[in-house]
Chains A and B, each alone.
Chain A
Amino acid sequence: MHHDNGIWVSTEDLMREDSFLQSAEKELSLENVDQNGDRWETNRRDFLKLLGFGLGAATIAASCEIPVKKAIPYVTKPDDIVPGVANYFASTIVNGGDYCAVLVKTREGRPIKIEGNTLSSVTKGGTSARAQASVLSLYDNRRIQHAGTVKDGAVTKKEWNVLDREVRAKLASGGNVRVITNTIISPTAKKALAEFTAKYPGARVVTYDPVSNAAMLAANEQCFSARVIPNFRFEQADVIASFGADFLGTWISPVEYARGYAENRRFRGAKGAKMSRHYQVESHMSLTGSNADNRILIKPSEQGAAIIALYNELSGNSGGPKLGDAKAAAAIKKMAQDLMNAKGKSLVVSGSNNVMEQIYVNKINDLLGNINTTVDFNGVSYQRQGDEREMMRLVDEMNAGQVAVAIVWGANPAYELPNAARFAEAFGKVGMRISFSGVLDETTALCTHAAPANHALESWGDAEPKSGHFSLIQPTIAPLFATRQAEHTLLEWAESPNLNRSAEQPYYEYLKSNWETDLFGRQTKYATKQAFWDMSLHDGVLEMPESGLNAVMNEVSLNPDSVTKPSGSELEIAFYETVNIGGGQYAHNPWLQEMPDPVTRTVWGNYLNIPVEWDGVNHINGWKGLNDGDNVEVEINGKKMTCTVVRTFGLAPGTVAIALGGGRTSGGCGAGYGVNINDWLPVTGGMVQYHAAGVSVSGKVGVDKHFACVQYHHTMGVQASGDEEGKVINADEKTLGWKGFQGALTDRSVIFHAHVDELEKFAEEMEEFHEESAHLNVQTLYPDQSDYFGTGMKWGMHVDMNACVGCGACQVACVSENNVPMVGKGEVHRHHEMTWLRIDRYFYGDFENPKVVYQPMMCQHCDNAPCENVCPVAATNHSMEGINQMAYNRCIGTRYCANNCPYKVRRFNWLDYTTADTWPANEERVLHAEGDDMPFYADNLVRMVLNPDVTIRSRGVIEKCSFCIQRIQEGKLTAKRENREIMDNDIRTACQTACPTGAIVFGNLNNPDSEVSKMTKQAGAVAYKVLEEINVRPAVNYSAKITNSNEELYS
């Protein structure tokens, strides 16, 4: 249960290697800055130069007149804008099938932050990292600023009416027209498309998804006569088995699923605790797999065999391909037993893109009695509709010169398709190629015309992610550039009589009238059309939940020979989607690029995950002796590419894995990071497969100089062999050379975990631990401050590590709320990432198939804060509300505080990342978008995303989590102004509101009725403070990780 009982963050940590300890030691030293050799040296002459310059500059600055500032009021002030007060608008973030109901926070008319919309029963107020980051894409200076013709990677401006005429003429001249899209979940957009295809008889819509679920749709069509995704009810499942479906991270509707999943796993007190059991059958560690109670490791090509094994076990059949690994086969038998025991309350899902495998999964759910319980057909999901087979056919059509006009809307086939090169060639034979893309991506570069669409935050629209769940999209800012709503463009070209061209916002009228015709009659909540529209727009969602629909599974012939056969290949590769950049659609968003992958903890690119090997005695080696950051050549099907490796726990033997989405070549700042592996994706039966066999990996061919993995950064509680006798002590202490001086503290308590069946015993052990810690802290130099902190409010947080799935939404929300700068890959390599909130990932258990704990780690706001004592200028100090305050303008940058912080949550602005300094320096080192002269944050457009209530920190100061002090101040003020006591809802931190599972709760610890007090009380002894024994008295409580693993699985 304890740190000493085997918790580790990496192989180096596990083996207590010197390199790791050194990197931890050097975290804050200048040496670390210099380790690449591209150092900046200072000698005496430089010093004198700088001194002279400094004096001169100071003199000039002092004699300068204070600049005259202007105050420009409105001419006619809008009624609903009060300068300085934020407005929130309900809207929806949609990108292909990704859906999130949101509230958009705007200040003085510009959107700056995304919050979840609690009125939506799909997302229930949760958000994803992608939705959080969407606001940054709005202010992307790489956006196409006007319509025009595309040539040589540039758009030459053309007025919209000129373009319209040209396109209409071409469309009218006959020939086939193809509209290429990703999944569209907007009913009104579909209507516009229908008008377009009705106008031009040769027109057809071709839909595919960047990461395909076509097989599942095809299987459901056969089994249930409906080409939809059922409504998976994770909250009702007691046993969940997932065959490679990453439903907590990327699969179909992760925000919704994570919320449901966590409902059944949240810690609600030790007594009589119950939780669901989750099996993950997979070949590499996905986000979902890392949360599973049991992982069954199989090779990527064995998924079909594994599904058949489960089916055979449940149905008593035999036949079909067999699993190579007897251990895995035995485990699946036991899993089958568990599933049977939870009949009607279990759920089996699969991420496979093989139709027969998906049919088997449906059959398994049928056998388990899950159809119409956990696999519900009320409120089916429309979030995946694509079929890449149609796309393949289109490529043939284009190649044969049968397509006159191709319109690309929201898709990027020239990058996303497995046969992109063939697509590009065929696409070139189309006479007129038009892109609606907002950026000059790979496909747009191949087009003849660009008709850039508005960003989602500038658009009107709607969405129906699930049957009966409608959502409205409303613009929160006028279009920044001369772009036009894509639906408007289509209707314009279709010469639609329903588009009121003289209206100020034609598509708004179109949308409104569509809702009034189609939806007003279906609902009973509102009596008048006006109320219906106003309230739907206000709420952002309109829900008409379906009920009573029962599906019966059709008789489908099962053919075990149609599933993927185990390849028998020595080395296989798995391709997976990451939570941050998806299939590459989100690659141009720095907030997402710099959000570490939850499992590998790498940023800015995709890396080849290689297994680690346990030599059975006392050493763990990287596969083939490779190290993190080594470059290797990978060859699949004769296609060779150079990848950078990262050693990863939890890969099946003989398996490597790599994420999709790297190697973008144009369209924004993500270009040039990682490798484009879409070319490697095999296509079987028309369907893209996300694994391949026959992989050969070379030895080390080089090193990625800027390999960026935050795994080893800001570590704490790391242990080392302390002295000659090999006694285990703290790494921090080793650096001090104390040789175990503080002997009682070597056994540091960062992570606690227990099995749900042993919870009561665990609670007792924890009780002992708390007593022991309290005993250690009896003698203290600190004065008793209970009176001081007991007056008024005392802020604190509770983190339920059982509800936390590690998705990273909180991290991006924090970046967005607090103006945390992005630093770029090279700077992350140098341990300079600035994120205030990190999600630590710890392993424990079996070395070859470990379990994972995610721990969101932010400033703990210690009452006895070690950072405060060492600051020579008192720039960091304590408030009576228990907040560890950081006054940036007082900080002189000694970094003593960061050094003394036991949690390593303080960040130092090594460079002028935000270009906030009056005297810019080192600008060439901070984040630049590819090919830009200007640093990323120097651009005025990008700076529009900054939160005006939070200071932009300049170079040379420390910063860290403030518990969203600006929100605390705002919440307090609201309560004061309204003459009432403060309530929980007045203040919710950015991480709290972003969390899809409600794992983070913030509030007033002095109020016994606050949610945070209740949560902590409910958790009882199972709640603990990280490093409780060192008497720093943090304000953040964590409740231990509880698992419900099947301990007999491998016995």
Chain B
Amino acid sequence: MLLKRICWVFTLLFAASQFVLAAPTVEEGKALFVANCASCHNKNMKDNLTGPALGGVEDRWADYPRQDLYSWIRNSQALVASGHPRATELWSKWKPVLMNNFPGLTDDQIESLLLYINAAAAPPPPPPPGTPEASETAGGETPWMFIGLTVILGLLAFALMRIINNLSNITRVQAGQAPLQKTLVQTLTSKGAIAFMVFAVTLIFGYKTVDNATKMGREQGYEPDQPIAFSHKLHAGTNKIDCQYCHDSARRSKHSSIPGTNTCMNCHSAVKKGSKTGTSEITKIYASIGFDPLQNKYIPDYENWSDKQIEDLYKKWIGQEYMSENSLTAMDDNGRQTVENQWEGVVKALKNDLNGKIQGPIEWTRVHNLPDHVYFNHSQHVAVGEIACQKCHGPVEEMEVVYQYSTLGMGWCINCHRETEVQFADNPYYDQYERYHNELKSGKRDKVTVEDIGGLECQKCHY
């Protein structure tokens, strides 16, 4: 009897969850956006492209009924023709660029799109550093719906149980038997209830175990300290240096390697002081490669210099700059302290267990660590796929200190391979996929994704 009831409850719950899953979601919106909108609207939702930036679109249409926005998306020209004020305003601004019609989009789909646009326009701040937590809390409102539904359904089930109990007792009384009255304890310790509990506990723990196990080794948000306070925000953001100026192997190799100190020197032989950090950070580059900023030349035989020689040179440089900054003619106490502190920083950054010398390479802490059994090739993505660095690495140009933006989990890779279109028409390499070309021509297929050319197969990445 009880078992039957439980089955009922679950059936109901299941049906409800199906209903919930059909609600608008960010994921669905993202897929729709990539498929329909991304060719004209900028993915960052901030800048105009062929079409306007979509960030804040809901606010701009807030004065009008929601249905108007739906109509606008489905057939913008119809709305313009009807003389809708917002539509007319937009048309006058963007004329003669026509927006494609999407009559097939349902209201829910459009809601999904809007959810995604809002999400993408205001990306959630990265999780606090050092806590490797999954960020996939997409659809944050659904838990409340679930909880609400569960409570309602639970009450419903309870009510039904009471009714069934009462009815069966009535039958018993009619048959001349004493009605059964179970105490709460009896109910809770019944076989069925215990079985249910065990089942539920196993389910929850199992889910949690698997869920946590998949997160093992993931380090999203990892933001380690680096030997040099190098600011990507300054270099890539403010100064707009191209990513591949320094990370030049990204287009040629599987690695996007950290530039050698000599690459830094391309600029820093002239730029000797940082706008924020002054001499404290750039001196580290000089001490690594052996550049004498006082005389503007590389030090011959720097390899064989003693620590003392190096210390004297760079302390002199730091001190000199301190004095000229503060227009001093002689060193003051504060200056001596500054020199001492900065020099300590240099030694800490360059000297370590592996390299007992100040000279030599700068040992950075690696931020993005793929598991050993994954083969990832930057040049495939950067040179062939023409994927922007930010797609995986996030807004590096806004990062003072670089952190891991994406999960780097397999699901994340796979999703992208499912969605990303191959540059099919432009590269003769793809000529051999004759069937796809024919299908594209005949209209049977509207795009070729990475998945279609084997992008989900094991040995694309594992060998």
Binding site for B on A (CB under 8 A): 62, 66, 68-77, 82-85, 787, 790-793, 877, 879-881, 883, 885-890, 949-951, 962, 965-966, 969, 972-973, 975-977, 979-982, 1004, 1006-1007
Using Cβ atoms and an 8 Å threshold, which residues of chain B touch A951?
A: 372-373, 462-463
Q: Are A887 and B260 interface neighbours, CB within 8 A?
A: no
Per a CB cutoff under 8 Å, which of A791, A879, A979 touches B457? A879
Q: Contacts A85-B252, A879-B454, A887-B462 hold; do A69 and B369 have CB atoms under 8 A apart?
A: yes
A69 with B366, Cβ < 8 A, contacts A83-B257, A792-B454 known: yes
Q: Which of B428, B431, B434 interacts with A791 by CB under 8 Å?
A: B434
CB distance from A789 to the nearest CB of B (A): 11
Taking a contact as CB atoms under 8 Å apart, the answer to whether A70 and B363 are in contact is yes
Which residue of A is nearest B364, CB measured?
A71
Partner of B377, one of A83, A950, A973, A981: A973
Check A790 against B435 for contact (C-beta < 8 Å): yes
- Does the CB pair B384–A77 fall under 8 Å? no
Interface status of B436 (Cβ within 8 A of chain A): yes
User: Residue of B at shortest CB range from A890?
Assistant: B458
Instruction: Give the residues in chain A near B249, CB-CB below 8 Å.
Output: 82-85
CB<8 Å pairs between A and B, sample of 20: A66-B219, A70-B365, A70-B366, A72-B258, A73-B260, A73-B261, A73-B361, A73-B362, A75-B359, A75-B361, A83-B257, A792-B432, A885-B462, A888-B462, A890-B458, A951-B373, A973-B379, A973-B380, A981-B431, A1007-B432
Q: Which of A73, A83, A787 has the most CB of B within 10 A?
A: A73
Please provide the 4 A-B residue pairs with the shortest distance between their CB atoms, ordered closest to farther: A77-B260, A84-B253, A74-B260, A84-B255
B433 touches A791 (CB 8 A): yes
| Contact residues of B: prevailing secondary structure | loop
B224 located at the interface, meaning its Cβ lies under 8 Å from any Cβ of chain A in the complex? yes
Asked if A792 and B433 sit within 8 Å, CB to CB, the answer is yes
Alpha-carbon distance between A431 and B463 when the two chains are bound, in angstroms = 57
B259 touches A887 (CB 8 A): no
Query: 6 additional contacts, CB 8 Å, given A879-B458, A962-B463?
Result: A68-B224, A74-B361, A880-B454, A888-B462, A980-B428, A982-B432
The contact string, 1 if C-beta is below 8 Å from chain A, for chain B 234-263, is: 000000000000000100111101111111
How far apart are the CA atoms of A885 and B224 in the complex, in Å?
A: 37
> CB of B283 within 8 A of chain A?
no
Closest to B289 in A: A75
Alpha-carbon distance A881/B436, docked complex (angstroms): 15
Complex alpha-carbon distance, A310 and B435, angstroms: 64
Interface presence of B23 (CB below 8 A): no
Q: Which partner residue on chain A sits nearest B355 by CB separation?
A: A72
Residues of B within 8 A of A793 (CB): 432
Check if A962 sits within 8 Å of B436, measured CB to CB.
Answer: no
**Bound complex: CA A973 to CA B432 (Å):** 15
A73: chain B residues within 8 A (beta carbon): 257-261, 361-362, 364
Quick one: which of B190-249 are within 8 Å of A by CB?
Answer: 216-217, 219, 224, 249
Query: Which listed residue (A69, A880, A972, A979) contacts B365, Cβ 8 A?
Result: A69
- Whether A976 and B384, one on each chain, are in contact in the complex, defined by CB atoms closer than 8 angstroms, is yes
Chain A residues in 8 Å Cβ range of B299: none
- CB nearest to B255 among chain A residues: A84
A877: B residues at CB distance < 8 A: 457-458
A975 partner residues in chain B, CB cutoff 8 A: 429
Contact A85 B253 (CB under 8 A): yes
Q: Which residues of chain B have C-beta atoms less than 8 A from A879's C-beta?
A: 454, 457-459
Tell me which residues across on chain B come within 8 A of A972, comparing CB atoms.
Answer: 429
Question: What's the Cα separation between A355 and B372 when bound, in Å?
Answer: 60
Which residues of B have CB within 8 Å of A69? Answer: 365-366, 369
- In the bound assembly, the distance between CA atoms of A85 and B380 in angstroms comes to 13
Query: Is B453 interfacial (CB 8 A cutoff)?
Result: yes
The answer to whether A83 touches B255, judged by C-beta atoms less than 8 angstroms apart, is yes
State in angstroms the CA–CA spacing of A980 and B426 once bound together. 10
A949 to B254, alpha carbons, bound, how many Å?
10
Instruction: For the complex formed, measure the closest distance between the CB of B3 and the CB atoms of chain A, giving whole angstroms.
Output: 32
Question: Do B262 and A76 have beta carbons less than 8 Å apart?
Answer: yes
CB neighbours (8 Å) of B217 from chain A are 66
- Give the contacting residue for B261; candidates A75, A82, A887, A973; CB below 8 A: A75
User: Whole-angstrom distance from the CB of A380 to the nearest CB of chain B?
Assistant: 46
Q: Which of A84, A792, A889, A979 contacts B428 (CB 8 A)?
A: A979
Decide if A792 touches B429 in the complex (CB within 8 Å): no
Question: Is B383 an interface position by the 8 A CB rule?
Answer: yes
Q: Is A71 touching B258 in the complex (CB atoms < 8 A)?
A: yes
Expressed in whole angstroms, the minimum distance between the Cβ of B455 and any Cβ of chain A is 10
Bound: A461/B463 CA distance, A: 37
For residue B158, CB closer than 8 A to chain A, the reply is no
Q: Which residue of A lies closest to B222 (CB)?
A: A66
Interface assignment of B360: CB less than 8 Å from any CB of chain A: yes
Q: Which residues of B contact A792 (CB under 8 A)?
A: 432-433, 453-454
**A973–B376 CA distance with the chains assembled, in angstroms:** 12
Question: Which of B252, B289, B366, B432 contacts A82 (CB under 8 A)?
Answer: B252
Contact of A949 among B219, B375, B429 (CB under 8 A): B375
Q: Are A75 and B384 in contact (CB under 8 A)?
A: no
Bound Cα distance A73, B459 (Å): 29
Contact between B384 and A973, CB atoms less than 8 A apart: yes
A963: nearest residue on chain B (CB-CB)?
B459
For B362, the chain A residues whose CB sits under 8 A away are: 72-73
Interface mask (B403-436 → A, CB under 8 Å = 1, otherwise 0): 0000000000000000000000011110111111
List residues of chain B with CB within 8 A of the CB of A886: 458-459
**Assembly CA distance A879 to B364 (angstroms):** 38
Q: Is there contact, CB below 8 Å, between A885 and B457?
A: yes
B288 close to chain A: CB less than 8 A: yes
CA distance A972 to B377 in the complex (A): 12
Bound state CA distance, A702 and B460, in angstroms? Answer: 52
Complex Cα spacing A949 to B462, Å: 10
Given A84-B249, A85-B252, decide whether A981 and B260 contact each other with a Cβ distance below 8 A. no
Could you tell me the distance between the alpha carbons of A1006 and B249 in the complex, rounded to whole angstroms? 33
Instruction: Choose one: A62, A77, A965, A1006; the contact of B216 (CB below 8 Å).
Output: A62
The minimal Cβ–Cβ distance linking A97 to chain B, given in whole angstroms, is 39
**A969 touches which of B360, B375, B383 (Cβ 8 Å):** B375
Q: With A966-B463, A973-B384, A979-B428 as given contacts, are A72 and B361 in contact (CB-CB < 8 Å)?
A: yes
B432/A981 in contact, CB under 8 A: yes
**How many Å lie between the Cα of A965 and that of B224 in the bound state?**
35
Q: Which residues of A contact B431 (CB under 8 A)?
A: 981
B167: min CB distance to chain A, Å = 49
CB-based contact A950/B458 at 8 Å: no
In the complex formed, the residue of B with least CB distance to A787 is B435
Q: Which residues of B contact A977 (CB under 8 A)?
A: 379, 383-384
A1006 to B435 CA separation, bound complex (whole angstroms): 12
A76-B289 in contact (CB<8A): yes
Chain A residues near B459 (CB, 8 Å)?
879, 883, 885-887, 962, 965
B385 to chain A, nearest CB (A): 9
Task: Give the CA-CA distance A950 to B372 in the complex, in Å.
Answer: 10
Does the CB pair A77–B429 fall under 8 Å?
A: no
Q: B463 is contacted by which of A68, A950, A973, A976 (Cβ under 8 Å)?
A: A950
Contact (Cβ within 8 A) A881 B454:
yes
B residues in contact with A1004, CB < 8 Å? 432
Q: Closest CB-CB distance, A795 to chain B, in whole Å?
A: 11
Nearest chain B CB to A1012's CB is how many angstroms away? 15
Q: Which of B132, B249, B359 has the most CB of A within 10 A?
A: B249
- Report the minimum CB–CB distance from A975 to chain B (whole Å): 5
- Rounded to whole angstroms, the CA-CA distance of A22 and B354 in the bound complex is 55
Quote the shortest CB–CB distance from B267 to chain A (angstroms): 16
A889 to B459, CA, bound (A): 11
CA distance A973 to B383 in the complex (A): 10
Given contacts A70-B363, A75-B361, A791-B435, contact A981 B372 (CB under 8 A): no
Interface string of B281-306 (1 = CB under 8 A from A): 00000001100000000000000000
Shortest A340–chain B CB gap in Å is 54
Q: Which B residues touch A787, using CB under 8 A? A: 435
B261 proximity list for chain A (CB < 8 A): 73-76
Given the complex of chains A and B, what is the CA–CA distance between A981 and B426 in angstroms?
Answer: 12
- A981 to chain B: which residues have CB within 8 Å? 428-429, 431-432
